[in-house]
A = this chain, B = another copy of it.
Amino acid sequence: MNSAARPPAMSDVAALAGVSHQTVSRVLNDHPSVRPETRERVTEAILQLGYRRNSAARTLVTRRSGTLGVVTPATALYGPTSTLVGLEEAARVVGWFVSVATIRQFDGDSMHTALEHFLGQGVDGIAIIAPTTEVAQAIAAIASPVPVVLISSASDVPPVPHLHAVGVDQRHGARLATQHLLDQGFPDVVHVAGPQDWFDAQDRLAGWREVSGPGAPEHIEAGWDAADGYELGLRMVREGLPAAIFAANDQLALGLLHAFWEQGVRVPDDVAVVGFDDEVGAAHYTPPLTTVRQDFGALGRLAVGSLQAAFAGEDVARQQIPAELVVRASSVRRV
Contacts and interface: CB of A to CB of B under 8 A. Distances in A.
A84 B286 CA distance: 30
Contacts of A97: 99, 101, 117, 121
A99 B67 contact: yes
A151 to B, nearest CB: 15
A138 B57 CA distance: 29
Given A74-B88, A78-B76, A99-B99, A230 B60 contact: no
Nearest to A75: B85
B85 A102 contact: yes
Contacts of A120: 52-53, 55
Interface in A54-68: 54-57, 59-60, 65, 67
A240 interface: no
Given A100-B100, A285-B258, A121 B55 contact: yes
Interface size class of A (residues with CB under 8 A): 35 or more
B60 A56 contact: yes
Contacts of A89: 74, 102
Contact of A229 (B81, B84, B284): B284
Contacts of A99: 67, 97-100
A225 to B, nearest CB: 8
Contacts of A85: 74-76, 102
A281 interface: yes
Given A56-B56, A230-B284, 13 more contacts: A3-B145, A52-B116, A55-B122, A56-B65, A81-B84, A88-B100, A97-B121, A99-B99, A226-B281, A226-B284, A258-B285, A262-B286, A285-B286
Interface of A: 3, 7, 52-57, 59-60, 65, 67, 74-78, 81-82, 84-85, 88-89, 92, 97-102, 116-117, 119-122, 145, 225-227, 229-230, 251, 254-255, 257-258, 261-262, 279-281, 283-286, 288
